[in-house]
Amino acid sequence: MKETQLIALFRENGYKVTPQRLAICEEVLSSREHPSAEMIFEKVSKKYPSLSLTTVYHTLDLLKELELVHELRFDNHSSRFDPNTSIHVNVICRRCGKIEDYNSDSIQKKWRDLVSEIDVQSIGQRLDVYFVCEKCND
């Protein structure tokens, strides 16, 4: 999403647009790492030293509300944020926590078929596959 579109979306929904908020959005929306709030804070606070972790969490909450990110919560009470809101599989290493997206037309078709079969109005999805990556297997 372009910055101008993001600014317009925030303003349409009555949210303030600040340089810090835009930097947080840019960091999470351009990331393929599925960053945690702490990872985002660490990167963005280099440019904005007065940034608080609370501001990061509030901005992530706004992005969730606007359906621009999904929050991936895990058993250890940690969360990561996924800017890919399309139907896909999160492929997650159980040891290091690395997360990659797996996208395919067949996943999308199978998901539509499943939702149709169980006859519900889907408002979201989360498909995870856990494994141990090569780096952790060594």
DSSP H or E segment with residue 79: strand 79-82
Q: How many CB atoms lie within 10 A of CB 62?
A: 19
Q: Residue 125: pLDDT above 90?
A: no
pTM: 0.89
Domain boundaries, given as residue ranges, for the chain: 3-82, 89-137
46 vs 137, residue with greater confidence? 46
Three-state secondary structure call for residue 82: strand
Taking only the tens place, the pLDDT of each residue in 59-77 is 999 999 999 999 999 987 8
Q: Cβ(34)–Cβ(72) under 8 Å?
A: yes
pLDDT for 124 equals 83
C-alpha–C-alpha distance, residues 101 and 119, integer Å: 26
C-alpha–C-alpha distance, residues 44 and 1, integer Å: 18
In CATH, 89-137 is 3.30.1490.190: yes
Q: Residue 12: pLDDT above 90?
A: yes
Q: Which fold has domain 3-82?
A: Arc Repressor Mutant, subunit A (1.10.10)
